[in-house]
A = this chain, B = another copy of it.
């Protein structure tokens, strides 16, 4: 929670200009962090301003109300996350198993590890107070993401690589651990060091497990080409 010191009296033009243009982004970032950390209602708008290095009044120069700020935070952190993913999926040439493993890991690097992952927690925690956001979220995030994962699973089934499972449920099984990791990162894991999970390990294990579960007997051997499956070893607790 590094609080930036208040602006010195005189700021050179160049810097002022740069800051002005950066303001919206800085405010949105500060707001996202705080909303995720403390919840929307428990975050004071002045805190957001202070963390972004401006005064209370300045925040209201950019966003007309705290609620508008929330909506903008969501809108801003949602765009185009999916489009890019779609492209990657389309271009990928390997097996469905490889693609799934790749996509899940990539998502963690691009979203899970970044500040944007907080949006997930924010939505989980706050949608019920802002139901008009729900549909937007479904249309922009949930549906495209489902379609993308579903496409991969279908590709695997069609190519004989996966068992003919119910696609929708397989999608849930693949998405659930990502959500699990994000929630851990932004709740318990943020409070208690010992509760913190190792995301990459969990994802690898999940990929291993689910692919094992999805694959037909014939496809099994090549299951996880990228990284060797971790054996239980002594860490079993």
A residues at B contact (CB < 8 Å): 37-42, 121, 123-129, 131, 134-135, 137-138, 142, 150, 154, 157, 163-170, 172-173, 175-177, 179-180, 183, 186-188, 190-192, 194-195, 197, 201-202, 204-206, 208-214, 217, 229-233, 235-237
Contacts and interface: CB of A to CB of B under 8 A. Distances in A.
Chain copies in the assembly?
4
A237 B175 CA distance: 16
A136 B147 CA distance: 39
B128 A192 contact: no
A145 to B, nearest CB: 13
B128 A37 contact: yes
B169 A202 contact: yes
Contact of A213 (B154, B175, B179, B213): B213
A211 to B, nearest CB: 7
B167 A39 contact: no
A205 B236 contact: no
24 contacts: A37-B128, A38-B128, A39-B40, A39-B125, A41-B42, A42-B129, A124-B183, A127-B187, A137-B188, A138-B195, A154-B236, A165-B205, A166-B230, A167-B237, A169-B204, A172-B177, A173-B202, A173-B209, A179-B183, A183-B183, A209-B213, A210-B210, A213-B213, A213-B214
